[in-house]
Chains A and B, each alone.
Chain A
C-alpha cells in the first residue's frame, strides 16, 4: 500500500516537475527549423564539452551512431532528460522537452547534423 502510494508520488513528480520547469520548451510537436538549429548548436557545443565537438567522446562516452548502435532509444532519451545519478551526466529536462530529447536521440542514432 505504502509502496504503491510512494510509486504514484514518484510518478506524479516525474510527470509534473519537468513540465513545470520547462516553460519555454515546446510540448508535443517536433522542433521547428529555428529550434533545430539551436539544438544542434547546443549538442555540438554544450554536450560537446563532455562528449567532444565531434561527439567522438571525451569525459563522457562517444555519441556516434556506431557507439549507440543497439541501445534503446527510449532509455537514451531518459538519460538526456534526467541524467545519470552518480556520474557527471547531468539532467537536461530544464532545457529540453521530451520531444526535443527524442529528436536529439533520433539524430544521434542517424549521425548528428553539423552546426552549419
Chain B
C-alpha cells in the first residue's frame, strides 16, 4: 500500500516534467550572438542540453544567475533583460529596460538585478523574481551630462559599484533600502574608464582607464579616502598601439598579492603589486589582451586577444611570469570560462562556430561542440561569487 503510493507519486512527479530531476550546479549558458539564442550546456558530460530563442540582440551580452542557480538573467545589447529557466529551458519573463545595455549584476541577497546602460546612460534595478523595476539612477556626471555606464559589479551589503565612461567617475550605490538608494560619487577619477573589477577579497574596486595611463582604485572599506590613481606613470610617453577591441577586467588573474591585467594599447599583461599598488613588471604576449583569467586552484593565467590576433590563446605561469603554452582553439576566440575547480576551460571560437573544451592540465582538447557564433560562456557557480 505504502509502496504503491510512493510509486504513484514518483510517476506523478516524473510525469509533470519532461526531464528527470537534476541539479543546476554544472549548468551554463552560452551566448549565440548572431541569432539571438542561448545554448544551455552542462559541464559534467560536456554537452549542449538545448537552446532558448528570441532573446534579441545579444552582441556583448552578459549573464547573471539567481542564488539558487536555477535562473539565468541575460542582458542584451538591445536593452533586453530576460529571465531564463535553465531547467525547463524557457523564458520566464522578458522586459526591454533601456535602449542599449552593457552589463548587469545581482545583489548579495539575490533579490535585486541591476542593469548598466549606455543609452540612456544609467543603472536600473529590478526585482529578481518579477523583473519589476524598483529604481532608476541616471548617470549624470559632475559635468551635467548623461554618461555610459561600465564596470558594474555587486559588492557586499547589497551595494553596487560602477563607472561613468564619459564622465570619468565611480559611483557606489547602497540598495539596502530600495526606496532610498544611497549614492556616493567620486569624480575626476581619470579619462574614459572602460571596465571595473572587484578584488577577490571584495575590498577594492578598480577601474581600468582607456583615455589615460593607469587605473583608478577605490577602497570600499575606506571610501572616505577617495579614489586613488595607480600606475599613472606606467609606460608614460610611450606610443600606444591601436586597440581593435576593448579589454575586459572581469575575471582577471590574481596570484599571491599580484594582479595581472591587460595592458591597454600594449601587447603585454601588466602585473600590479596589490600591497603597494605599484607596477611590478609585465609579460610580453601575442597581442592586445582582452581577457586575462586566472585558472582556479592554479598559478596559470589564460589570455585571449583582440582582432586580428584573436585566434590565439596564451597561458602564463604567474609564478614564473612567462608564457608556457600557446593554443589555437579556432577563429575569433571571444571568451574563456573555467569549470569551478578549474579542470576544464571552455573557449568560444566565434568564426569557427564552435566551443572548444580543454583539459587545463594537459592542454588537450577534450570536447568540441557546435555553436552559432558563440561569444560569452557563463557557468552557474558565478551565482556565488561576489563581484562577478
Contact = CB atoms under 8 A, between A and B. Distances in A.
User: Do A and B belong to a common assembly?
Assistant: yes
Interface of A: 41, 45-46, 48-50, 52-54, 56-59, 83, 86, 88, 90-91, 94-95, 115
A88 B243 contact: yes
A73 B250 CA distance: 37
B234 interface: no
Nearest to B310: A46
Contacts of B350: 45
Interface in B98-134: 99-100, 102, 118-119
B246 A54 contact: no
A50 B242 CA distance: 14
B243 to A, nearest CB: 6
Interface in B178-229: 192, 194, 210-211
Contacts of B77: 52-54, 56, 58
Contacts of A94: 308
A116 B295 CA distance: 37
B78 interface: yes
A23 to B, nearest CB: 13
A78 to B, nearest CB: 15
22 contacts: A46-B244, A50-B245, A53-B33, A53-B57, A53-B60, A53-B77, A54-B59, A56-B57, A57-B100, A57-B118, A58-B60, A58-B100, A59-B118, A83-B242, A88-B192, A88-B194, A88-B243, A88-B246, A90-B243, A91-B242, A94-B308, A95-B308
A46 B307 contact: yes
Chain B contact-residue range equals: 20 to 34
B300 interface: no
A56 B60 contact: no
The A contact surface, by secondary structure, is loop
A34 to B, nearest CB: 15
B8 interface: no
A45 B148 CA distance: 21
B59 A53 contact: yes
Given A83-B242, A88-B210, A91-B242, A58 B57 contact: no
B34 interface: yes
B126 to A, nearest CB: 22
A96 B48 CA distance: 37
Contacts of B165: 59
B76 to A, nearest CB: 10
A58 B242 CA distance: 18
B332 A45 contact: yes
Contacts of B34: 53, 115
